[in-house]
Amino acid sequence: MSDTGALLLDMTERLLVEQFDDAAMRAARAGEWPQDAWDAAVAQGLPLALVEGEQGFGVPLAEGLALIGLLGRHAVPLPLAETMIGNALLARAGLPVTEGVIALVPEGAGITLEDDTAVGEPDRVAWGRNAAALLVEDGGQVGLVTSGFRTLGQGSNLAEMPRDRMAIEGPAQIALLPGTSLLEAGALVRALAMAGAMQTLVALTVAHVTERVQFGRALSNFQAVQHSLARLASEAAAASAAADLAAEAFAGASPQTTVAIAAARTRISEAAGIAIGIAHQLHGAIGFTEEHRLHWFTTALWSWRDEFGSAAHWTRRLGQAALAHDKAGYWPFITSV
């Protein structure tokens, strides 16, 4: 990693730790918009951190994407991942970038882009109520919408993050998005965030079993606990590897980007299920309470697994791509990813 990339990660980590103590996390989960934290993120330039070229930080995209993992590690209750990748895509499409909150409305959400206008009523839009701009997708094109939309109904995912129903009928700056799709890019940031959240599951669980004493010794002394923990760490490692594979394909504009993202979403979905189960099991009853922070991460994982395409969607697509090869072609297909 370059010095600039490492510095950016380090600064962002400090910002997140400073802004999101337990009280701030609880307030955000209760529905309060963390304006101060958002302002701090904007002051640090995070909305433009993934933009390539002159408008961005000059950090290679592959490195910048590590920021998304960091956001996942802290289960950050802000639309930073959406805004960061949104700006990266806007720049790629030759549209203007913005420092305001961007909400992403990918293919399949029922948007029509025609005659410089976006129309539709998408549901489950992440942070729709806070959005200054929408980046929508229809038929291989994307549109930037900065007016003519409103929130019809507020909802949330399992981690109490806003997922809203929107009404859109407004002017759109339409462009082709080369090399990827909004759905794919959204799926990638969720994959990276999930890998980050799973690292936190490992850290929280290691800390808990080291501190918690039963039968006169720390839980970590029991071999059954050690082996469960090993399995948790292995699944977290697999999730990180799968997310990195997808991020590098995306950043390098690999022709197999879609396959890499589909693989990451498929593998991480399974890994998250196993990891969540073990983390809760090893935390015991305290981890099942509102008071304990474990559920900030496990509920986020439960939701992120199926956002920007369900796990079933990505697994099916990966299976179709794999089955397009005969037995002589399958291995070359694997090594091409």
Residue 316: DSSP 8-state? H
Q: How many residues sit close enough to another protein to count as binding (CB under 8 A)?
A: 51
Q: Choose the binding region for another protein from 4-12, 140-148, 175-183, 236-244 (rule: CB under 8 A).
A: 236-244
φ, ψ of residue 28 to 5 degrees: the values are -65, -40
Contacts of 332 by beta carbon, 8 Å cutoff, 6+ apart: 325
Kindly state whether residue 35 participates in binding another protein, applying the rule CB under 8 A: no
- CA separation for the pair 246, 193 (Å, rounded): 12
Q: Choose the binding region for another protein from 75-83, 145-153, 284-292, 314-322 (rule: CB under 8 A).
A: 314-322
Kindly state whether residue 6 participates in binding another protein, applying the rule CB under 8 A: no
- CA separation for the pair 243, 185 (Å, rounded): 12
Which is nearer to another protein, 176 or 312 (by Cβ)? 312
Kindly state whether residue 248 participates in binding another protein, applying the rule CB under 8 A: yes
Kindly state whether residue 266 participates in binding another protein, applying the rule CB under 8 A: yes
Residue 211 Cα distances to 207, 217, 219, 282, 290, angstroms: 6, 9, 8, 12, 20
- CA separation for the pair 231, 296 (Å, rounded): 21
Q: Are 313 and 262 contacting, i.e. CB atoms less than 8 angstroms apart?
A: no
Which is nearer to another protein, 145 or 229 (by Cβ)? 229
Tokens of 101: 């909150």
> 333-336 long-range CB contacts below 8 Å, 24 or more apart?
336/255, 336/256
Q: Which of 25, 144, 166, 229 binds another protein (CB under 8 A)?
A: 229
Kindly state whether residue 334 participates in binding another protein, applying the rule CB under 8 A: yes
- Nearest distance from residue 239's CB to another protein, in Å? 8
Kindly state whether residue 335 participates in binding another protein, applying the rule CB under 8 A: yes
Kindly state whether residue 226 participates in binding another protein, applying the rule CB under 8 A: yes
Kindly state whether residue 195 participates in binding another protein, applying the rule CB under 8 A: no
Query: Strand pairing of 133-138 and 141-145?
Result: antiparallel
Kindly state whether residue 240 participates in binding another protein, applying the rule CB under 8 A: yes
- CA separation for the pair 133, 152 (Å, rounded): 16
Kindly state whether residue 209 participates in binding another protein, applying the rule CB under 8 A: yes
Q: Report the candidate in 1, 87, 73, 95 with the shortest Cα–Cα distance to residue 45.
A: 87
Kindly state whether residue 241 participates in binding another protein, applying the rule CB under 8 A: yes
Residue 54: DSSP 8-state? T
Which element (helix H / strand E) includes 231? helix 223-251
Which is nearer to another protein, 35 or 335 (by Cβ)? 335
Kindly state whether residue 331 participates in binding another protein, applying the rule CB under 8 A: yes
Q: Which of 65, 238, 276, 294 binds another protein (CB under 8 A)?
A: 238
Q: Which of 116, 227, 255, 310 binds another protein (CB under 8 A)?
A: 227
Tokens of 224: 């059954």
Instruction: Please calculate the CA angle 122-71-186 and round it to the nearest 5 degrees.
Output: 35
Q: Are 183 and 137 contacting, i.e. CB atoms less than 8 angstroms apart?
A: yes
Kindly state whether residue 217 participates in binding another protein, applying the rule CB under 8 A: no
Q: Choose the binding region for another protein from 22-30, 37-45, 48-56, 204-212 (rule: CB under 8 A).
A: 204-212
Name the residues that contact another protein, by CB under 8 A: 199, 202-203, 206, 209-210, 220, 223, 225-227, 229-231, 233-234, 237-238, 240-242, 244-245, 248, 260, 262-264, 266-267, 270, 312, 314-323, 325-327, 330-332, 334-335, 337
